[in-house]
Amino acid sequence: MTNKELAVKILELVGGKDNITAVTHCITRLRMTIKDSGIIKEDEIKKLPDVMGVNQVESQYQVILGPKVADVFFEFEPLVGKAKGNDEQAEKKGIGAMIIDTFTGIFTPILPAIIGAGLLKGVLLFLMFSNVVSAESDLYRVLSIFSDAAYYFLPFLLAASTATHFKCNRYIAMVIAGILLHPDLITMLGDGTVHRIFGIPITSASYGSSVLPIILSIVLMSYVEKFFAKVVPNILRTILVPLLTIIVMGIVTILLIGPAGTIISNALASNFLNFYVNYGVIAGALFAGFIPLMVMLGIHNGFTPVMVQSLATYGVEYLMGLNVASNSAQAGATFAVFLKTKNKDFKSMAGTAALNAILGITEPALYGVTMKLKRPLVGVCIGGAIGGAIAGFFHVTATGIATGPIIGIPLFITDTFIYFVISCAVAFVIAFAFVIITGFEDVKEEEYEEEIGDLTATAAVPAGETEISSPMTGTVVKMEDVKDNVFASKMMGDGIAVLPSEGKVFAPFDGEINVTFPTGHAVGIHGKNGCDVLIHVGIDTVKLEGKGFQYHIQNGDKVKKGDLLLEFDIPLIKEAGYDVTMPVIIVNTDSYKEITKTEAQTVQNGDDLLTVK
């Protein structure tokens, strides 16, 4: 299944673009804010290829896609487009969901810049310690500027992402960031003189690399801008709204929000550092031990602001070492499963997942291996906790943000590097040994094959030419001639109709029943070929409330071509005054370039009715 096809299918199964109020992604998850979670077809989403699992935190619905999430998001975002659901119509979020949504929305978009700059900083340190380059060389100094740029100008990045999240003008937001970092303001505040606006003194503060001041400022700006947009006449709005917003927010920011945000940021960073220094073993064990559970709940990104603030304030970060220790434990447990399992297909998957975990992408290992087998997950938590305790005891630091033990090595080249290596090695070995010693209930060959088979059957990509046989015997009717505008206009999809001569409906191909109704008047089938077909018995027959209809299947049943699906009483339906014409609808019409319809005037059950390409 291509990324675009996967994106289309996910959008369909979460209820369409009108059920989504916001969408973003992190390193492994497609994150959607949903209006009505009751219409999400979660079981079908889980069966899609490349979907490792799903998770919901209040109104945020997460589809876990692993390393290909960015590619799927690239296809998914245009599908949602401007027609996203209205936030005001969405159900109110709890404080937990709101905080997670905010952190994710603000920090996820800037992570590539932060990670890239951090890795460059780590590589530079490695090259300097290896005597490959000198700290006095022009090359080192220029590359050092490259690596520092993302951190010093962090307010610009945060201004853009915060404005996007709170739906205000990004360019005005970056002007506010520019005010805080303007060289003349920095010089003015550093000259030792007390400067005032309207008699109010401007507090001297350094805003380079700051986090909280600009976020708080842009949050307030989102309301100020909307206020001016409401009160300013339309003819002057383009000129006055930006002008008034910049003046008001510029003054409020340098007089109030900037200093207050700096004080709060420094206090938070200082208190966290003190706690970590004094209780490093406890903090390290708890954090690293529970990371897999936080990942399962999708709340691990809530710590990103803490890491970014620490880097901005101190130039080093402490949680990264704990995170990498947990990833090492995940890799160790998964590698043990790879060695012990007798299932060849599962062994291959576990090996790939272990490699991904070493590189920092743990979802394949977590959802595909350790959580699936349960006992190895215990080993991950124990190994992570012990590795985290070691990292906490020795106060392992990183100079940037990364995810895995291997790719993160340059970031940990500080005076605690040896303890970083020890913590990762211990976490890996303990988790590995736990799984080797305690074992697990292996996945049986036939069970795994059946699972893969089911997934393929449910999520195959429509490809090539597919024949759809007639589910009933009768006279062919063009879809445009059906006496119901919903069907005739092909609102539900293209297809053809049949006026039946006998009251039986048969499976048009091999597949799985995915739609049934309490009234028994229709049935949907999802084919192994990827085709979704809905067979509707009569027009408005739902009003019969089940009279005259009898299913021979139930939702989820596997069926073969020609199996009897349901029976219906033609005389009873006609006597009740209803048309018995039966539309046969290709629900996923958009997945096909060409649909060929039979030219025969009558068909028997099993005759060729439709061909899709």
Indicate which residues carry an active-site annotation. Answer: 26
| Type of residue numbered 459 | A
How many Å apart are CA 243 and CA 362, to the nearest integer? 47
Alpha-carbon distance of 36 to 14, in angstroms, equals 9
Q: Is 334 helix (H, G, I), strand (E, B) or coil?
A: helix
φ and ψ of 386, to 5 deg? -70, -45
Q: Which two tokens stand for residue 310?
A: 């620490």
Question: How far apart are alpha carbons 67 and 291 in whole angstroms?
Answer: 19
Question: How far, rounded to the nearest angstrom, does the alpha carbon of residue 79 sit from its chain's CA centroid?
Answer: 15
What H or E segment, with its residue span, contains residue 31?
Answer: strand 29-34
φ, ψ for residue 200, nearest 5 deg: -95, 125
Interacting residues of 236 by C-beta distance below 8 A, sequence separation 6+: none
Separation of alpha carbons 390 and 184, rounded Å: 46
What does the buried/exposed string (b/e) look like for 476-490 if buried means 16 or more CB atoms within 10 Å of the residue's CB?
Answer: bbebeebebeebeeb
Q: Is 296:372 a contact under the CB 8 Å cutoff?
A: no
Question: What length does the chain have?
Answer: 613
CB 100 within 8 A of CB 57: yes
SS3 string of 32-84? EEECCHHHCCHHHHHCCCCCCEEEEECCEEEEECHHHHHHHHHHHHHHHHHHC
Beta bridge partners of 474: 500, 603
DSSP state of 397: -
What burial letters (b/e) apply to 401-429, b meaning 16+ CB within 10 Å? bbbbbbbbbbbbbbebbebbebbbbbbbb
Amino acid identity of residue 227, one-letter, is: F
Neighbours of 450 (CB within 10 A): 11
- Strand-pair partners of 612: 466, 595
DSSP conformation class of 206: -
**Residue of 249, 284, 165, 152 lying closest to 207 (CA atoms):** 152
Nearest CA to 561 out of 606, 607, 503, 495 is that of 606
